[in-house]
Amino acid sequence: MSQLEVLIFDVDGTLADTERDGHRVAFNQAFEEAGLDWDWTVELYGELLQVTGGKERIRLYVEKFLEGFELDEDISDFAARLHQRKTHFYLELLQSGAIPLRSGVERLINEAREADLRLAISTTTTPANVDYLLSATLGKQSLNWFEVIAAGDIVPAKKPAPDIYTWAMQQMKIKPENCLAFEDSLNGVKSSLAADLKTIITINGYTKDDDFSGAEIVLDQYGEPNQPFTVIEGDAAGFDYVNLDFLKEIHAR
Ligand code: XBP
Ligand code: MG
pTM for the predicted model, two decimal places: 0.97
- Reply yes or no on whether the pLDDT at 67 is more than 90: no
- To the query of whether residue 210 is one of the catalytic residues in this protein, the response is no
CATH topology assigned to domain 6-17+100-252:
Rossmann fold (3.40.50)
Rounded to the nearest angstrom, the distance between the alpha carbon of 1 and the centre of ligand 1 is: 34
Mutation pick for ligand 1 pocket among 8, 10, 12, 134 (CB with most ligand atoms within 8 Å): 12
* 19-95 homologous superfamily: Putative phosphatase; domain 2 (1.10.150.240)
- Which residue type does 228 have? P
Strand 231-233 with 217-219, pairing: antiparallel
pLDDT tens digit sequence for 131-151: 999 999 999 999 999 999 999
Half-sphere exposure of 248 (CA within 13 A, CB side): 9
CA distance 79 to 116: 41
- To the query of whether residue 12 is one of the catalytic residues in this protein, the response is yes
Residue nearest atom 10 in ligand 1 by C-alpha distance = 125
Rounded to the nearest angstrom, the distance between the alpha carbon of 225 and the centre of ligand 1 is: 30
Per-domain residue ranges of the chain: 6-17+100-252, 19-95
Instruction: Judge whether 205 and 20 are in contact, CB under 8 Å.
Output: yes
Three-class secondary structure of residue 151 per DSSP = strand
Would you say the CB of residue 13 lies under 6 angstroms from ligand 1?
yes
Three-class secondary structure of residue 219 per DSSP = strand
- Reply yes or no on whether the pLDDT at 88 is more than 90: yes
- What pLDDT score does 134 carry? 98
pLDDT tens digit sequence for 195-214: 999 999 999 999 999 999 99
Backbone conformation region of residue 42, classed left if phi is above 0, alpha if psi is from -120 to 50, else beta: alpha
DSSP code of residue 171: H
Mutation pick for ligand 1 pocket among 45, 124, 183 (CB with most ligand atoms within 8 Å): 124
Computed over every residue of the chain, the mean pLDDT equals: 97
Rounded to the nearest angstrom, the distance between the alpha carbon of 147 and the centre of ligand 1 is: 20
